[in-house]
Chain A
Amino acid sequence: MFGYYLDMALHSLRRNRMLTALMVLAIALGIGASMTTLTVLHVLSGDPLPGTSQTLFYPQLEPRDMDGYQPTDEPPDQLTWIDGMNLLHARRADRQALMTGGTVPVQPVQSSVDPFYSDARYTTADFFPMFKAPMLYGRAWSASDDDSKARVAVISSKLNDKLFSGKDSTGQMLQLGDDAVRIVGVLDRWRPNPHFYDINISGSYGPTEDVFLPLSTARDLKLTNNGMMNCWGGHNDHLEIAPCTWLQFWVQLDSPAKVAAYREYLTHYSQEQKALGRFQRPVNIRLLDLMGWLDYQKVVPSDVRLQTWLAFGFLLVCLVNTVGLMLAKFMRRAGELGVRRALGASKRALFAQLLVESGVIGLSGGICGLLLAFVGLWLVRQRPSSYAGLAQLDMSMLLTTFLLAIGASLIAGLLPAWRACQITPALQLKSN
């Protein structure tokens, strides 16, 4: 029966090409626009480290003085050097890493390559195992390298390609301005999205840094820092003792009991610092997990959310448009439907037939919409935003597109089909 309905549907659609094209186009535009924006939203609000993110936490402390204090203040987004070092050395978590961003001048040994700047991350040894950063060659540095301010570095595979044509460069020296560091490891391709461990750098969705150095080494070499820095009290001090927050600190806590214990520890630590007079405000700590932190920081650009809503509004208009046109089309065939009813077709059969017809429109609209979504995503990728390169359609979004297209057009077909089935066969036959 389905085959017969399909045949009838195609026949009917062919009879009114302009109208059919209009309906398919409307659905395709709506689906194309909403899938493009939904894919971008899906990519941007995704989990940067699936499977690991729920064990990663971002501790926040309140180290500021009472200047401008409001009881509703959230603690700062970053830590001071003193607190960062205290938490790092306390080793109360399964793993922990302290870090900041920077820029280093790289001077290639080959004279054919001009010197250039690279984004760098100054961090501590646990960074790599904690964030599951894959190593192509060599290994990460150790905690003892952190302590001894060792002149070592891990570089990205991109930089390795540029400087060493992709060959194993471990043991080679990397010249950063005046100083040379020994490469101990080369990262494999690794780009967590968003750039969760420091979202102030390169617009939250930027690429991973090319040079990783021990934080202690970077401070010792007086390399330039990048990122947000908040100071209070107005002093001229070295960053190691200045009342400034500029470091990100991440911990790995493998069980809920450990999370509770760590929260307890942060409270105790704050009370202790308050007793010492370093902290002045009431104890105020946070321990958000990775996804909670991204949510709190509103990482997904509000423009992207707005675009998604806009596209769904657009889809709604396209659907209303299709319902109207389909209604017109079905009602116009009242005579034909009346004949079928008079010849014994049940209302259900008629309804099924009309639904098949709207399903065909939906399917065609969906396929065209998918093509439009590919074009749309291609256009997004041409845009210069930092997340542009990420806009790719994956399997789950592909499936969503089809379900959305078919579902939308069936819903759009329901009302017209139901209305068309309500005709009285006798009346239609008489007027003809």
Chain B
Amino acid sequence: MTLHPILAALRKHKAGVVLISLQIALTLAIVCNAIFIIQKRIDMVHRPTGLNEDNLFLVTQQWVGAPDGDDPAGLEKLDSMQQADLATLRNLPDVASVSPIRSLPLLRSGSVGGIGMKPLQQKSTVDANFFFGDEHMLSTLGLKLVAGRDFTAADVQHKGFRDESGPVLTIITKPIADKLFPRGDAVGKVIYFDSGSTPTTIVGVVARLQSPIDSGDSGLAWNSVMFPIRQDANFARYVLRAKPGRLVQAMNAVTPALYAANPMRVLDDRSVRSFADIRARAYRADVGMAILMSVICLILLAVTAAGIVGLTSFWVGQRRRQIGVRRALGARKVDILHYFQLENLLIAGIGAVIGILLAVGLNLWLITRFEMDRMPVIYVAVGVLAVLALGQAAVFVPARRASNVPPVVATHAA
């Protein structure tokens, strides 16, 4: 089949052709950018935190009538209260392990500081998230040690909440180890925190530990350090790992057990949270955005398909007599079908070419306005195939109707 008759016919419907290809172009531009955004959100939500998240939960509580921790005696008292709580929690039948903790990945609250290679170094070499806990921190969180050793009970110190004197030992994440010691010999080396003069020895390296604060995919998201320090304040946080399959029972047991051990405290309904809940909360806006964009894309494709069906149906109705003449002159049904399919392919093809330009333009605009990344070509390629397929699917019904026009129509008076 030659394109000539199709082009000749389309020339008679310039406005319609322009509109339908414009619609296809806009749909392509919006849909492939939207899918790119959706994919980025899905990737972000599925990043592993480095924790073994199953059976993990967090307890936040505050004591009433506790000393303020500004003097050594008060500090000792707070620490003994915390130790008592840890013992209570460890004795729960459904709890596998417990550690005090300052914050957890995705909790949206944490502390950040700088690391230097020399004492009193003014400009830090790299910034990192600080995690504080005891010798059970790594095992409770389920972190993967890739070099060196875990903290031991003898390593653990306790300090006031705002005491920022340099820690003695630390375990760092691999991204920091790679940055500071590219030769892979971080263990045993000494670093300095917050422009201080206290040397801190690296005892171990863990594979991965995500930041508590929302730092996108910047370096800070994976730069974390852990200290064997129990922090004493009039509030405390504990991270607990329930025995497999006993998460709900363990979570329910915590509040009564803590109140029974010491009623002078406040725990409310938000005090005991599973890590699954923390994760869902952290990413709910992103999940919502992905769902919304998917829905809009689907409706957009449906509207475009409906537009193609509507316009082609109209063209078929308008050309009934011409179709009849072609059939009378020997054209088979399938020739008529192919005619409309090819016509649609041509229009959708024009739309796709304009659409590719619009899609790239839209992506560039999103980069300047919304700090989006450059869209890989694959999204545009898939988008082009999708709109071409959509066009073919939409044109099939009216084209079938056209092919069923009987040759006798040619003899009817127009």
Contact = CB atoms under 8 A, between A and B. Distances in A.
A307 B306 contact: no
Contact of B284 (A26, A306, A320, A384): A384
Nearest to A302: B370
Contact of B314 (A116, A303, A329): A329
Interface string B101-116: 0000000000000000
Contacts, number: 135
A342 to B, nearest CB: 18
Interface in B45-79: 62, 64-65, 68
Given A117-B266, A321-B304, A313 B288 contact: no
Contact of B293 (A117, A310, A327): A310
B195 interface: yes
A178 B65 contact: yes
Contacts of B124: 68
Nearest to A235: B164
Given A222-B68, A317-B304, A327 B15 contact: yes
Contacts of A415: 15
Contacts of B15: 327, 415, 419
B307 A314 contact: no
Given A317-B304, A383-B288, A310 B23 contact: no
Given A33-B296, A222-B234, A431-B414, A318 B310 contact: no
B121 to A, nearest CB: 10
Interface string B275-301: 000000100110011001100100110
A236 interface: yes
B34 interface: yes
A317 B303 contact: yes
**Considering residues B124, B162, B304, B317, which has the most beta carbons from chain A within 10 angstroms of its beta carbon?**
B162
Contacts of B26: 313, 316-317, 320
Contacts of B284: 383-385
A324 interface: yes
Interface string B222-235: 00000000000011
A287 interface: no
B268 interface: yes
A408 B289 CA distance: 27
Nearest to B196: A234
Contacts of A177: 62, 64-65, 266
Given A234-B164, A307-B289, A320 B234 contact: no
A114 interface: yes
Contact of A317 (B30, B268, B414): B30
B411 interface: no
Interface string B10-36: 000001100110110011011000100
Interface in A15-68: 19, 22, 26, 29, 33, 67-68
A233 interface: yes
Contact of A332 (B122, B123, B318): B318
B43 interface: no
Contact of B16 (A116, A314, A328): A328
A155 to B, nearest CB: 17
A80 to B, nearest CB: 15
The binding surface of chain A is classed by DSSP as helix
B27 to A, nearest CB: 6
A115 interface: yes
A311 interface: yes
Interface in B182-199: 193-196
Size category, B interface: 35 or more
A307 to B, nearest CB: 7
Given A224-B235, A383-B288, A328 B310 contact: yes
B350 interface: no
B165 interface: yes
A303 B291 CA distance: 13
Interface string B84-125: 000000000000000000000000000000000000001110
B22 A107 contact: no
A419 B296 CA distance: 32
Nearest to B307: A321
Nearest to B160: A236
The binding surface of chain B is classed by DSSP as helix
A332 B288 contact: no
Nearest to B302: A29
A325 interface: yes
Nearest to B270: A117
Interface string A228-259: 00000111100100000000000000000000
A412 B271 CA distance: 56
**Considering residues B27, B122, B193, B266, which has the most beta carbons from chain A within 10 angstroms of its beta carbon?**
B266
A405 interface: no
Contacts of A385: 284-285, 288
A26 B162 contact: no
Contacts of A114: 268
A310 B369 CA distance: 13
A328 B314 contact: yes
A384 B307 CA distance: 35
Contacts of B65: 177-178
B217 interface: no
**Considering residues A26, A105, A235, A431, which has the most beta carbons from chain B within 10 angstroms of its beta carbon?**
A105
Given A313-B26, A317-B27, A323-B19, A307 B292 contact: yes
Contacts of B64: 105, 107, 115, 177-178
A236 B34 CA distance: 49
B285 A303 contact: yes
A236 B163 contact: yes
**Considering residues A302, A305, A320, A323, which has the most beta carbons from chain B within 10 angstroms of its beta carbon?**
A320
Interface in A292-314: 301-303, 305-307, 310-311, 313-314
A29 B299 contact: yes
B311 interface: yes
A96 to B, nearest CB: 28
A272 to B, nearest CB: 26
B292 to A, nearest CB: 7
B123 A67 contact: yes
B101 to A, nearest CB: 17
The 7 tightest CB contacts between A and B, nearest first, are A328-B314, A324-B19, A234-B194, A105-B266, A321-B307, A116-B268, A115-B266
Given A305-B370, A314-B30, 9 more contacts: A234-B196, A313-B29, A317-B300, A317-B304, A321-B304, A325-B311, A328-B16, A383-B284, A432-B414
17 contacts: A26-B307, A33-B296, A33-B299, A67-B122, A116-B269, A177-B62, A234-B195, A302-B371, A311-B296, A313-B30, A320-B22, A321-B303, A321-B304, A324-B307, A327-B15, A327-B19, A328-B314
Interface of B: 15-16, 19-20, 22-23, 26-27, 29-30, 34, 37, 62, 64-65, 68, 122-124, 162-165, 193-196, 234-235, 266, 268-270, 281, 284-285, 288-289, 292-293, 296, 299-300, 303-304, 306-307, 310-311, 314-315, 317-318, 366, 370-371, 414
